[in-house]
Amino acid sequence: MTTRAGPFVRELPVLLFIAASSLLLRIWWMDNPVVDHDEQFYSYVATAMFEGQVPYVDVWDRKPLGLFLLYEGAHALLGRGAFAYLVMANLFACIGAWLAYRIAALLADQRTGWVAALLYLIAMTVFGCRGAQSELLFAPLCLGMIYLALVYPGSLRATLAAMLLGGLALQIKYTAAPFCAVFAAFVLVEDYRRARTLLPVLGRAALYALAGLAPTLAFAVWYAAIGHFGDFWYANFVSIFERKTSIGRFHPKTLSVIAPFLLMIAAGIWAWFRLGQTYPRRASALVVVMTGGALASIYFPSNVLAYYYAFLAPFAVLLAVPFYDLRQRAGWFGAAVLVAALVVIGNFPANIAAGRADVVQFRALTQQINAGGAGRSLYVFSGPTATYAATGTRPRAKYPFPFHSAEYMEHGAVGRPQEQIVAEFLAKRPMFILARSDRSIYATSFTAPMVLEELARHYVPVGEYLILGDGLVLYQRVPDGI
């Protein structure tokens, strides 16, 4: 019994450190129902599944089913509120930090691993993952792939387990596919160098592919069994390529967003050559190669949003190891510099205050809607999807996510004309409509003119709010005949 508990006991100090650090960084948002946009909708889909609605069939998004199942599990355990998925996010952040610790310990030593864990937590929190964004959820699975390859080189069982982790990552976000492909290529090259014959390597390649695709194939078979394979196929593998290019892969602000990561990587490269410390060749090569895989995943979609770069955070942390390697005196200085820099960039006091202000504004918004009485109804054309759940006005509609029916990018990419989706919402004559205050944002929207005309004819503004940086106006329908 003591022997089995030995590894856990040895890990307990760093696990407690990681848990405490993660809680300190993230507790400020743990009760925030509007911590970000996407989490609200993932939660919406998960709770719709409790009511018997089937993703892609009854409620639509293009994210993989595995992501919604994670949210559904969190809500099943901890209730329907945002707290449930934010606790889940904290757990995933801790797992990712522990893996960063283990990998950095293999590159340098365990003390350096502690720094890596802390840097991972700060970087993921600062760069778009204060809540339960998909990058925070699939990054630990990808780090797990690297860790298995480092600890069990050449092991078929370990590599199959790693590819299965990659398959689970795909079921959180399909942009993990290039990362998985690069990982498979790396281990197959190693397999060929050991075998020196092609046939066994091809056999392993087939097994790796099967392990990686197994979760997705299982869900595909299930959808085929219930007669909705077409809905599954379109949402998962077709609609993303029908999106219009509006942001592109290289936004003018891209360099400013990733500059901290580039500086961390540059510091690590500088220290590698200047300080003379040695590092395991294979482990270093794997981290470098998989950084390329992470970049390939980030730039896989035609529109790259800022928070996608959160997936680069763990690799910037690992590539910077030579700069904060505590085996050398300079590493202590490097660790202090990187931790301080990320804390400053994170501007936590301002962001915590902004989060508190968002909650206040959201509560004011929901109170105004709830004042509409038992017959209240709502159409969120723009704004937080969480408003539906908070006001008991959830529509039983296939396309409730505002982005799908309002944004230029999604026109022709959701399997149904946006105009029809909006027309159906407006035909219900909702008591309230939530829209942006800055109408210039709707300049490229195909459906905004429909909503704005309806607002001008039948609605009056009853409240203005600022949530997640978006100015919003709540409109209430004027009774007919007035």
pTM summary value: 0.94
Q: How far is CA 234 from the centre of its chain?
A: 21
- The model's pLDDT over 278-333, given as tens digits with 9 standing for 90+, comes to 999 999 999 999 999 999 999 998 888 888 999 999 999 999 999 999 999 999 99
3-state SS, residue 407: coil
- The model's pLDDT over 97-131, given as tens digits with 9 standing for 90+, comes to 999 999 999 999 999 999 999 999 999 999 888 99
Residue 213 has pLDDT above 70, yes or no: yes
Predicted pLDDT at 5: 63
3-state SS, residue 463: strand
- Calculate the CA dihedral of residues 335, 337, 340, 342 and round it to 10 degrees: -90
Question: Whole-number mean pLDDT of the chain?
Answer: 94
Proportion of the chain above pLDDT 70, given as a percent: 98
Strands 459-467 and 470-477: antiparallel
Sorted by sequence, the CB contacts under 8 Å of residue 206 that are 6+ apart come out as none
Distances 294 to 105, 178, 301, 403 between C-alpha atoms, Å: 21, 8, 13, 26
Which residue's structure tokens are 């038992």? 374
- The model's pLDDT over 324-367, given as tens digits with 9 standing for 90+, comes to 999 999 999 999 999 999 999 999 999 999 999 999 999 999 99
Element of type H or E holding 163: helix 156-170
Phi, psi of 186 (to 5 degrees): -60, -50
Sorted by sequence, the CB contacts under 8 Å of residue 129 that are 6+ apart come out as 89, 93, 135, 136, 307, 310
Sorted by sequence, the CB contacts under 8 Å of residue 11 that are 6+ apart come out as 98
DSSP summary character for residue 478:
P
Phi, psi of 380 (to 5 degrees): -90, 100
Strands 432-436 and 378-380: parallel
- Calculate the CA dihedral of residues 389, 391, 396, 402 and round it to 10 degrees: -70
Residue 1 has pLDDT above 50, yes or no: no
Distances 169 to 97, 208, 243, 389, 448 between C-alpha atoms, Å: 17, 15, 22, 28, 36
Candidates 67, 30, 71; CA nearest to 50 is 71
Domain boundaries, the chain: 2-30+62-346, 350-477
- The model's pLDDT over 141-184, given as tens digits with 9 standing for 90+, comes to 999 999 999 999 999 999 999 999 999 999 999 999 999 999 99
- The model's pLDDT over 407-430, given as tens digits with 9 standing for 90+, comes to 999 999 999 999 999 999 999 999
- Two tokens at 454? 């309806």
